[in-house]
Amino acid sequence: MMKKSNWIQIFLFCLFLAGFFVLNLCTPDRDFSEQENRYLQLRPKFSCRELFFGDYTSKFETYTTDQFPFRDSWISLKARSEILLGKKENNGVYLCPGNTLIKPFSEPDEQLLETNINAVNLLTEHAGCPVYLTLVPGASETWADKLPKNAPNASQTAVIDTVRARTEAQYIDLTDALAAHAEEPIYYRTDHHWTTLGAYYGYSALMQAMELQPLPLESFHRRIVSDSFCGTSWSSSGFSWVPPEQIETFVEETDAVHVTNYPSGKPVEGRMYHDEFLGQKDKYSYFWGGNTPLLQITTAHTDAPALLILRDSYMDCLSPFLTEHFSRIDILDLRYYRTSLQTYLQEHDFDAVLVCYSVSNFCTDSSVYLAGR
């Protein structure tokens, strides 16, 4: 009887393996996962050279994992299993009250942080105009009370205090400005960015620190452009049942604001908002068309100062507010811009430079050192 039972188990196991083998053969490969918002590994091309001297086996292992049948469903099943086991975390993301997904902040690499601070100090020394530095605290800081008590969440305020003490730039603190509105939806529930509302409060604090008068919130026409946004936290967590949310705009796009984009080193006509992204997974690229090395923006305020911004993607939904206060705004993303920054400063006349990063990105972005070059 025992022997027969063993044979039945072996048969079922082999049937299981054979079934997934057939599914793998019949299921077409996907080059992009909408749920995970990333490109998937396609079947690597076989060659003896790649097998013995390349990374063929590593690529093939990734391929089998990425193209596993019903991959998205398995990811969601794993996340649901974690919840049933009493856990609130999956893939480093916590499911918090109000269907809010938060990734805790990790202790920074002290050496990289010091390198980035020194780069901004070098920029301050050679810019020839005032340099402002601001770091945006993320949801895991402002909404830390939403995280479980045992979540390993390092202090972003401690990083901000360190940067403020060591920088030679004029530091602008946004911590209090955001904390004062912590009960409002200033961060996305499903994404790591702040919302346009959160960016507005950041903009107000920036303008006041730069001795400019921010426009009141009620002067803007708030418009919902999407109600189906699921951000990067949603994609990486596996919590696929968390409902989507809205994306808003406050600043209207007008002909008075002219945008030149340099997506691949050559100038093309740019726009503040790109409606085509609202029908895609990466809806946050609606602002300015997503990551790009350089944006050059001119406005009708010809007597206003000119501003250079070094930034990460948190600036995407904040920068439209700035078009009311500057004649020209050049926005550089050092992750993609590889020409000398000092040369760019010498070739263009700016009244101020603003370095704006999230705390997390400033601690981890190895391209910030280019600010001192």
Q: Check residue 234 and give its pLDDT.
A: 94
HEC profile for 209-256?
Answer: HCCCCCCCHHHCCCEEEEEEECCHHHHHHCCCCCCCEEEEECCCCCCC
pTM (2 decimals)?
0.84
Q: Check residue 186 and give its pLDDT.
A: 98
When pLDDT is averaged across residues 336-346 and rounded to a whole number, the result is 93
| All residues at 6 or more sequence positions from 356 whose CB lies less than 8 Å from its CB, including other chains | 133, 134, 135, 136, 206, 309, 310, 311, 312, 314, 315, 318
pLDDT above 80 (res 140): yes
Angle at the Cα of 305 from the Cα atoms of 299 and 307, rounded to 5 degrees: 80
When pLDDT is averaged across residues 114-129 and rounded to a whole number, the result is 97
Q: Which of 239, 136, 243, 238 is nearest to 192 (CA)?
A: 136
pLDDT above 70 (res 275): yes
Q: Which of 344, 352, 311, 325 is nearest to 257 (CA)?
A: 325
pLDDT above 80 (res 45): no
Beta carbons of 123 and 371 less than 8 angstroms apart: yes
Q: Check residue 265 and give its pLDDT.
A: 84
Q: Check residue 153 and give its pLDDT.
A: 97
Residue 354 burial (10 A CB sphere; 0-12, 13-18, 19+): buried
Beta carbons of 89 and 79 less than 8 angstroms apart: no
Distance CA 165, CA 362 (A): 15
Q: Check residue 359 and give its pLDDT.
A: 98
pLDDT digits (tens, 9 = 90+) for 220-242: 999 999 999 999 999 889 899 99
pLDDT above 70 (res 307): yes
pLDDT above 90 (res 141): yes
Lookup result for tokens 């997934």: 20
pLDDT band at 87 (very low <50, low <70, confident <90, very high): confident
Beta carbons of 99 and 150 less than 8 angstroms apart: no
pLDDT digits (tens, 9 = 90+) for 17-39: 566 555 555 666 655 555 555 56
H helices of the chain, where? 2-26, 48-53, 56-66, 71-84, 110-126, 139-142, 156-166, 175-179, 196-209, 232-237, 319-322, 341-347, 359-364
Helix 156-166 and helix 110-126: axis angle, to 10°? Answer: 40
- Per mean pLDDT, which range of 43-57, 79-93, 137-151, 354-368 is the poorest? 43-57
When pLDDT is averaged across residues 86-91 and rounded to a whole number, the result is 84
Q: Check residue 24 and give its pLDDT.
A: 59
pLDDT band at 357 (very low <50, low <70, confident <90, very high): very high
* β-strands 38-39, 32-33 pairing: antiparallel
